[in-house]
Structure 1
Amino acid sequence: MAKEETVLQGMIDRLIEIGRCYGMEMNVEKTKLMKISRQPTPATIKIDQKQLENVKCFKYFGSLLTDDGRCSCEIKSRMAMAKAAFSKKKNLFTSKLDLNLRKKLVKCYISSIALYGAEIRTLRAVDQKHSESFEMWCWRRMEKISWTDYVRNEEVLFRVSEQRNILHEIRKWKANWIGRVLRRNCLLKEVIEGKIEGRV
């Protein structure tokens, strides 16, 4: 990762040089390049006079990164995975089990898929709307309410004894994550300054 193309080219050249000392080569065909910007333009980075392929999206540690720097694609992708998981276990979620047990199963099994990595995402208004729509989709499917039944969201929430909670949950995760980052940084600073001994 680098802020300028020249810096990135220098880093790659150095990586190739060090790798060759140990008999390793970088595969140009498998190496991809993505420039993240509000107005993405292709970057020109070369390995042995061969230009790297510019891509618009990239999967990194299970999260989908896009060249516009937004999280909409990742959120939609996560919602699709969660819906697929719900459909696989549909018989369980729509069974005659106790309502509270089914709700706990949905929150544990489905919400964890949909909200994976949510603490580091930037939520725009449209993303918030998608998240709330997904939440209602889960409760409607759980109660076997079709969109053609014209049942209002308020009535669905009343039936399942729930409130709109997904955005509150995401905000709580964000606050916890920021707290962990700040505490870790303070601890690391104290270790570096020699105030305390130990590993971070």
Structure 2
Amino acid sequence: MTISRQPTPVTIKIDQKQLENVKCFKYLGSLLTYDGRCTCEIKSRIAMAKAAFSKQKNLFTSKLDLNLRMKLVKCYIWSIALYGAETYTLKAVDQKCLESFEMWCWRRMEKISWTDYVRNEEVLFRVSEQRNTLHEIRKRKANWIGHILRGNCLLKEVIEGRGRRRKKMPNDLGDIRGYFHLKEKALDRIKWRNCFGRDCGPVVLTDYR
């Protein structure tokens, strides 16, 4: 056995025709990369969401009620940025990008220029909002991974990961030391919903023993 940091070349042929190896490609609207990371996908999604915001800028910055405009942003803009977010394995840099995008939306909606020295806390106070992007992703992860753990398919093994101890998708949900308790809890749909719920409260692994 030879162990190397260099990726092993993969050759796949269909009807004697060799398939081209690429570093990334788009499938069902998501950008898939050769290393399985989601950083490129997150940046791509944020760029598309910002473009969509710019097209409807007059609506989002109009004199409509603030709560209505916030709902429109979450409905039409966040849905673009967070498409497929339940499968993300977030690194610290990815979390910062998502939080920065969230603040970008509120600043543009309130017509706050990047040259204005306005702290994020002040912006959140003006819109009567808290940082919700990462929490929303954790909620989606909890709902999705519960469905996966109750099944018996290959994806259940993929999300657990093997080999090098790189950060895995379930790590974003809480303490990985309780992962086996997490799987037991997922088998009971009622207990799972009681543990994670569908409300806007904190999503933490505190009731899985």
Pairing of 1:162-181 with structure 2 (within 5 A): 162-181=129-148
The size of the alignment, in residue pairs, is 150
Give 4+ residue runs of structure 1 displaced > 6 Å after superposition. none
Query: Match for 2:73 among 82, 86, 106?
Result: 106
TM superposition shift of 1:180: 2.1
SS of the aligned residue for 1:65 comes to strand
Q: Distance in 2 between matches of 1:51 and 1:151?
A: 55
- Partner residue, 1:77: 44
Contact 1:139-1:156 within 8 A present in 2 as well: yes
Pair 162,118 (structure 1): closer, same or farther in 2 beyond 3 Å: same
Amino acid at match of 2:60: F
CA distance in 2, matches of 1:184, 1:45: 30
Instruction: Tell me which of the two structures has the higher relative contact order, counting C-alpha pairs closer than 8 angstroms and 6 or more residues apart.
Output: 2
SS in 2 for 1:64: strand
Aligned to 1:148, the other structure's residue is in SS state coil
| Cα offset, 1:60, TM superposition | 1.4
Aligned to 2:99: 132
CA distance in 1, matches of 2:17, 2:150: 45
Structure 2 gaps, min length 5: 154-209
Give 3-state SS (helix, strand or coil) of 2:115's partner: helix
Aligned match of 2:63: 96
Instruction: Say whether the 8 Å CA contact 1:58–1:66 is kept in structure 2.
Output: yes
Q: Which amino acid aligns with 2:18?
A: Q
Between the aligned partners of 1:40 and 1:142, the Cα distance in structure 2 is 45
For the residue of structure 1 that corresponds to 2:131, the secondary structure is: coil
- Which structure 1 residue ranges, 5 or more long, are not aligned? 1-37, 187-200
Please state if 1:62 is matched with 2:32: no
**Alpha-carbon distance between aligned partners in 1 of 2:6 and 2:109, rounded to the nearest angstrom:** 42
